[in-house]
Structure 1
């Protein structure tokens, strides 16, 4: 039993404290952002699973009140000393209050983000018009050059008349491919998940580093899709023209202050050849993703299952 608990705590520590720093330093994640994104998402998922497992194990370990909830009917708690029961109950109460406080802080934040996106889409229905040549694009009649995407099943991309006038036809197509990549690869959902995890668990280094690195990797992945379709030079020119684009909360834009790392993205496009990842890199990433999710899930399940039978 003790080995299961040690394994669970060790898994939580490895994923929460070491996985992020290692991913931030290893190799060149910008060379293959899609692989890096998968590894970061797996590290975040594993950190959350391991954290939940540790909390559940702490609440279920005897003689905590959570232990053997069904066993109470069979006289489990009387087998423990009163002092131990009181101390375990106090510790469990503190842990529950802390967990509830984090959930109460994180869930409203996600709710506000979802409501803001919904209001934004409702506003667009009133003021935007459909693009004549692209069925998934809405056009805002405004001189400021704006191009961004929102999480939506239809009409997910928004551009302004100023952006259409500023960009050439090839550059405009590159921006549309970039935004479609965001929508197709569910980047908005990944950012929402990242915000929720950061709100609930802001302390682990993996979560903090993911908050810093993952948004830039999402932009690089969309850049690669646009570069393959329209050419790197065309995309770079479009990014330069849209560099002063104002940010839109809850949206992903090809350029502007909301994207972050624009200079790094442009430098990467100008100096790094966009290529497919090697088989060895894909195999290593697949192994890490599988292990990062399966290991904490197995450790948490085994620990909780064992605790449920101990009194």
Structure 2
């Protein structure tokens, strides 16, 4: 066994210098990771507050509403992933220290009468906030799914006793009512559509078919689940981007369903159906042809200006979606570049 005293003085100096170099490299890497983590978190926060005005510039009158909806969804996803990556970097040092190790180091520092480092405290605070937000979001989604399922089952039970079902897929129930109305409810496996006999009597056969196709498009696109998730996210995390994304999604799913009905039965048929249907209080989670965005949808269907050609529309929509998902990273990189430049000027 070799004792420290047996090591030559020259070797001791070499070992000390090597150890110091390793420690310095580790500290520099940890500092760089922490700096990058703060930049990512700042980019996520900046995008969460500043992205809605940019995304609202994507006018669905001349773009595919599905592509605009994808841009909103990818922006939300980008913010969530960027913030998560920032928290992970704060909790990770050299790929080996995670939340439990960070908590142990904080407790060890406190037990010795020292304060934990800023990175440890920030990482723990960020992790705690992320866990609380995830739990809150999960609970809200589960509660909303349960409420929607209960409402659908109650509605279906009542419809089986009072309405006629056409036996199709999805099932369409016809309620004896003079008021023209149609709406859809999500239910496994294909959902249900509810329409009144007044719809068939008031509208022409083509207009009624367009109204039903609108509801079928909601069910095919799983629009009910999409709106529910964004609504739950907006309530769990009151970030401007999430709130605006929920509002935008409700309008965009209606525009997408209008387009599906227009492709199947013509723009005039779906426009007449929208104008003729009456608004009613609907079951929780229902989507209907007659909603708050009727004015916007009629104006879009009545728009006589030439639409953008499909290749150009696809390219612009793809660029918009790509920009939306990388926007938080770009914002974080910009903040990081400004911070590094400022530090260099301060040192110089």
Q: TM-score range by the shorter chain?
A: 0.7 to 0.9
Which of 252, 260, 268 is residue 217 of structure 1 equivalent to? 252
Give the gaps of 5 or more residues in structure 1. 301-311
* Structure 1: distance between partners of 2:103 and 2:206: 70
What residue in structure 1 maps to residue 25 of structure 2? none
Which of 260, 272, 276 is residue 241 of structure 1 equivalent to? 276
- Pairwise CA distance, 1:198: 0.8
Larger radius of gyration: 2
Are 2:170 and 1:136 aligned? Answer: yes
| TM-score, normalised by the number of residues in structure 1 | 0.77
The 3-state SS of whatever aligns with 1:139 is: strand
Give the gaps of 5 or more residues in structure 2. 1-31, 333-348
What residue in structure 2 maps to residue 112 of structure 1? 143
Summarize the alignment of residues 80-95 of structure 1 with structure 2, pairs less than 5 Å apart: 82-85=113-116, 95=126
Are 2:208 and 1:172 aligned? Answer: yes
The 3-state SS of whatever aligns with 1:31 is: coil
**Residues 267, 148 of structure 1: CA spacing in aligned structure 2 closer, same or farther, 3 A cutoff?**
same
The 3-state SS of whatever aligns with 2:280 is: coil
| TM-score, normalised by the number of residues in structure 2 | 0.69
What residue in structure 2 maps to residue 39 of structure 1? 71
* Structure 2: distance between partners of 1:172 and 1:42: 35
Are 2:297 and 1:265 aligned? Answer: yes
Higher relative contact order (CA 8 A, sep 6+): 1
Are 2:216 and 1:183 aligned? Answer: no
The 3-state SS of whatever aligns with 1:83 is: coil
Are 2:82 and 1:50 aligned? Answer: yes
Give the conservation status (yes or no) of the 8 Å contact 2:172–2:195.
Answer: yes
What residue in structure 1 maps to residue 312 of structure 2? 280
Cα deviation digits, residues 107-138 of structure 1 (max 9, x gap): 33322321122123322442325543744233
* Structure 2: distance between partners of 1:274 and 1:171: 24
The 3-state SS of whatever aligns with 1:158 is: strand
Give the conservation status (yes or no) of the 8 Å contact 2:48–2:242.
Answer: yes
**Residues 19, 89 of structure 1: CA spacing in aligned structure 2 closer, same or farther, 3 A cutoff?**
closer
